[in-house]
Structure 1
Amino acid sequence: MEESSLDGRTEEEKWKIRWSGFGEELKKLSYMAVPMVAVLVSQYLLRVASMVIVGHLGMAAGLETLCGQAYGANQNQKLGTYTYCSIISLIPVCIPISIIWVFLDKLLVLLGQDPEISAVARKFSVWLIPGLFAYPFLQSLVRYFLCQGIILPMLWSSFAALCLHIPLCWALVYKANLGITGAALSVGCAHWFNVVLLGMYMRYSSSCAESRALVFRDIFLSIKEFFRFAIPSALMVCLEWWSFEIVILLAGILPNSKLEASVLSICVTTTALHFLIPYGISAAASTRVSNELGAGNPQAARFSVYVTVIIGTIEAIIAAITLFLCRHVYGYLFSNKAEVVNYVREMVPLICISLIMDSLQGVLSGVARGSGWQRIGAYANLGVYYLVGIPISAILCFAVNMKGKGLWIGMMAGIFVQALLFALVTGFTNWQKQANNARERIFERGVVANNETG
C-alpha cells in the first residue's frame, strides 16, 4: 500500500484504509493458503498411509518464481512453456534417484543400519520407482495451477487420489498378499491418477486456455533459465531435509538407540506434519509476491509479505500452545510405552519452540521462492544446518552428554539462524529493484525469441 496515498487524511481514516488493505490481502492469501494446506495434507496422508515419505523433487519449486512472475506480467503463454520445460527437465532427475533406490540396501548397511531392515527398505523403494516418474508431472502441474490461483482442482484431485489409494493399498497388501510391494504400487497408482486428473483439467478447462500452449522451440530455449532457479530450489529443500535425516542417524549410535531414534522420529514427524500449514501459507505468499513483482507492483509485494508473516506467526503460536497443553498425552499417539511417552513429554517444550521458528522460516522461504532468491536460500541452508545445526547437535549430544535433547537443540539453533537470515534478507530487500528484475526476466525471453524468429 502506497503511504503517499494517505497524505492529507486524518489518523482515523489512515487506520481504516490500512486495515481495509490488510483484510483484502488476508482474503487473497487465505483463498490460496487454506485449500493448499488441504492439498498438502492429502498428499502427505497418502504417503503416511504407506509408511513412507517419498523424496520431494524440490527443483519444481523453480516454477514458483518463473510462472508466478509471468502470470503477474500477463504473459500467460509462458506458464505452459515453463511447466512443460519443468517436466522435461525433471524426468532425467528420476533416473539417478531410481539407481540409488535399487542399491539402497547396500547404502544403508554402509551407514550402519540393520541389514534386514535395509533389505525391506530397498524392496519397498524399488516398487516405488514407477510412481517416482509421476512426480515431474505432478509437482510441475501443482506449481502451474498455484501460480494462477487455481486451487480447487488441486484440492479435489488430491482428495480423489487419497480416496483411491487407501482402499487400493488395503486390497493389494491384505487381499492380494503383496505386503509392502502392494503399498508401494498403490502409491504409484495414486500419483499417476492425480496427474491424469490435473492433466485433463489443464487440457479441457477454459481457465487454462491461454496458458497451456505447447511451443516446443520455446520449451527448449527455457531449459537453461529453468535450471538457474531449479537447482538452488532443490538444494534448499534437500539440504534441510538431509540434515534432519543425519540427526536421526546420529541418534541411532547412542546408547538405548531405539528409544532415542524413536523419540527424535516423533519430533521430526510432528514438525513435518505441522509444517504443511506454514508451507501452504508460504505457497500462497510465493504466488502473491511473484504475481505482484511480475505486475510491477513492489509495494503490494512487500505488503503481502507483512500480512503473510503475521498470519504465519499467529498460527504457529496457536499450534505451539495447543501442543504444550497436550504434552502429557501426546506421546500416546505414537506409543503405549511409558519411557517413550515420558521422553516425548520432556521434548514437547523444545518442539513448541521449533514450531514457531520453523513456521517463520517456512513462510519467508515462500517469499524467497516468489522473489527468485533460491540461491541465497541454498547458501543459507548449507550454512545454518551444516556449519551451525549439526555441529552444535553433535557437541551437545556427545560432548555434553545431552543425548537426544542435545541433537534437537542443535537443530533448533540452526532453524533460528535460518529464520533470522531470511528475515534480514527480506527486511533489507529493495522491492522496486526486485520488480524491475522480474519484469526484465519475463520480457527479455520474449525479445530474444522474437529476434531469433525474425
Structure 2
Amino acid sequence: MLFVSLLQFGIQMLSVMFVGRLGELHLASSSLTTSIAGVTGYTVMIGMGSALETLCGQAYGAKQYAMLGVHAQRAMLVFGILSIPISVLWIFTGPILGVLKQDPEISAMAGESAPWLIPSILPFGILQSQTRFLQTQGITVPQMATTAVGCLVHGVVCWVLVDKLKMGNSGACLANGVTYWVIVIVLAGYIKVSSSCQETWKSFSLEGARGVLSFLKLGVPSAFMMCLEFWSFQVFIVLAGLLPDAELETSMMLISTRISNELGAGNPGAARMAVRVVLLLAVSQGLLASSIATATRHVWGCIYTDDKILITYLSVVAPKIAVCNFIDGIHGVLSGCVRGCGWQNCGAYISLGAYYFVGIPVALLFAFVWRYGGEVSL
C-alpha cells in the first residue's frame, strides 16, 4: 500500500512536472485548478470512500464476505451520482476563481483547463471503491502493479498531449482521466476473474442500490472528516493567490484498514497493537523523510520548474514543509484509527476545530497581518 500511495502521487507529480516546464503562469494556474478540483471533487470522493475502510474492514473481519461487494457497489452508485454536480462546478471554475479575487490571468487559464478534468472524476471515485475493497482483504500486489502501469501510461499521455499536441494545462488535465480509466478497467478485470475475490464479489445486484442510505450515514461524516482537512490546505492556496507576486506564492503552495479488520473480528487487543506498530513506523519514517527533504531542499524545485527564483523560494520553505509532513504522518495514523472504529462524527468535529478555528486564523495573521507571506502560513 505504501508503493500504491507513492505511485498514485507519482501520477499527480508527473502532471506538475510537465506543466511546470511551460512557465510560472502555467504552474500557478495548475495549482489553482488542482485546488478547485480538490475542494469540490477529489477530496469528496476520497472522504466518501474512506467509509468503506470501516464498512468493508469490519465486514471482512466478521467473515461477512459477500457484504464487501455490496458496500463497494453502494459506493460506486453514490460516486456516479456525485460526479454530475461536480462536473457542473468544474465547468464554472473560471467565474468561481474570479469571485475569490484571484489573479485574472491565472484564473482565465485555470477556467479553460478545469473542464478537461471532468473525464477523471467518475473513474477516480470508482478507484476509491476498488482500492478499499481490495485493501480490506489484504490484496495489495495487484493494486501496486496496476498503479505502476497507470504511472507509465500517464507519463506517455502527458508527453503526447502537453508536449506534442501543445494542449498545455488542458492536456495534463485530460491525461488524468485517461490514466484513471486505464487503472479502473484493469482492476475491474482482476476483481472479476481472480479467485481471491470469488467470495467477496459476485456481481452487481439490487441489494447494493437499496442500501445507499445506510452507506451515506457513514459516508457523509467520513467525507466531512477528511474534506475539512484537505479544504483547509486548499484555502491556503487561494490565500496565496491574494498575496503580492501571486504566481510565485501559488506555485510554491502546490509544490486504517488493519484496525477495522480486527475490530470486526472482535480482537480489540490486536487493534491496539496495530496502532502502536504503525505509530512507531510513522515517527521513524517521518524523521527519515523529513531529514532527506531538508538535506536535498535545493534540488526539489528543479524537478518541477526552471524558474530560479521559485527554486530558491522552495529551498527556503522546504524545512517548514518537512516539519508539517512529519506531524501530518502521525495525524494520518490517528485518523486511520478513527475511521477503523467508525468514529467519523467525532473526527469531523476535531478537524473543524483544529483547522478552521486555529489553523486558518493563525495563517491569516502570519501572512497578511504580520506580512510573513506564504512560507510562514504553512
Give the alignment's TM-score, normalised by structure 2.
0.87
CA contact (8 A) 2:11 2:154 kept: no
Does 2:30 match 1:41?
A: no
User: Runs of 5+ in structure 1 lacking a partner?
Assistant: 1-32, 270-285, 409-454
Structure 2 residue identity aligned to 1:60:
G
Residue 144 of structure 1 aligns with an amino acid whose one-letter code is F
Q: Return the alpha-carbon distance in structure 2 between the equivalents of residues 264 and 45 of structure 1.
A: 14
Give, in angstroms, the shift of residue 46 of structure 1: 5.6
* 3-state secondary structure, aligned to 1:262: helix
Residue 375 (str. 1) matches residue 345 (str. 2): yes
Cα deviation, 1:196-251, whole Å, max 9, x if unaligned, reads: 11111111111110111236342134212211221122222322222122222222
Report the alpha carbon displacement of residue 170 of structure 1 after superposing the two structures with TM.
2.4
Q: 1:45 to 1:336 in 2, by over 3 A?
A: closer
Alignment of 1:255 with 2:225, yes or no, is no
Structure 1 residue 402 displacement after superposition = 2.4
Give the C-alpha shift of residue 305 in structure 1. Answer: 0.4
Amino acid of the residue matched to residue 172 of structure 1?
A: L
Does structure 2 conserve the Cα–Cα contact (< 8 Å) formed by 1:71 and 1:148? Answer: yes
Amino acid at match of 1:287: T
User: What do the CA deviations read for 1:13-32 (whole angstroms, capped 9, x no partner)?
Assistant: xxxxxxxxxxxxxxxxxxxx
TM-score under structure 1 normalisation?
0.73
Match of 1:99 in 2: 88
For 2:318 and 2:18, locate their aligned partners in 1 and report how far apart those are by CA, in whole Å: 26
CA distance, structure 2, for counterparts of residue 405 and residue 184 of structure 1: 27
**2:365 equivalent in structure 1:** 395
Seen in structure 2, the aligned counterparts of structure 1 residues 259 and 126 have a Cα distance that, compared at 3 Å, is closer
Tell me how far apart the structure 2 counterparts of residues 367 and 253 of structure 1 sit (CA, whole Å): 37
User: Quick check: which has more Rg, 1 or 2?
Assistant: 1
Between the aligned partners of 1:385 and 1:130, the Cα distance in structure 2 is 31
**What's the Cα RMSD here?**
2.3
Residue type at the aligned position of 1:325: A
Q: What percentage of residue pairs aligned between the two structures are identical?
A: 38
Answer whether contact 1:289 1:371 (CA < 8 A) is retained: yes
What is the letter of the counterpart of residue 404 of structure 1?
Answer: G
Q: Give the Å deviation of 1:94.
A: 0.9
Where do 5+ consecutive residues of structure 2 fail to align?
A: 20-29
Instruction: Give the drift of 1:146.
Output: 0.7
Query: In 1, Cα distance between the equivalents of 2:138 and 2:7?
Result: 13
1:71-95 Cα deviation digits (max 9, x unpaired): 1111110000000010011111111
CA spacing shift, 1:234–1:121, aligned 2, 3 Å = same
Q: Secondary structure at the match of 1:133?
A: helix
- Larger deviation: 176-185 or 103-112? 176-185
- Taking the TM superposition and a 5 Å limit, the aligned residue runs for 1:169-318 are 169-214=158-203, 216-265=205-254, 269=255, 286-318=256-288
SS in structure 1 of the partner of residue 50 of structure 2: helix
Of 343, 357, 360, which residue of structure 1 is paired with 2:327?
Answer: 357
Q: Report the Cα distance in structure 1 between the residues aligned to 2:119 and 2:318, rounded to whole angstroms.
A: 38
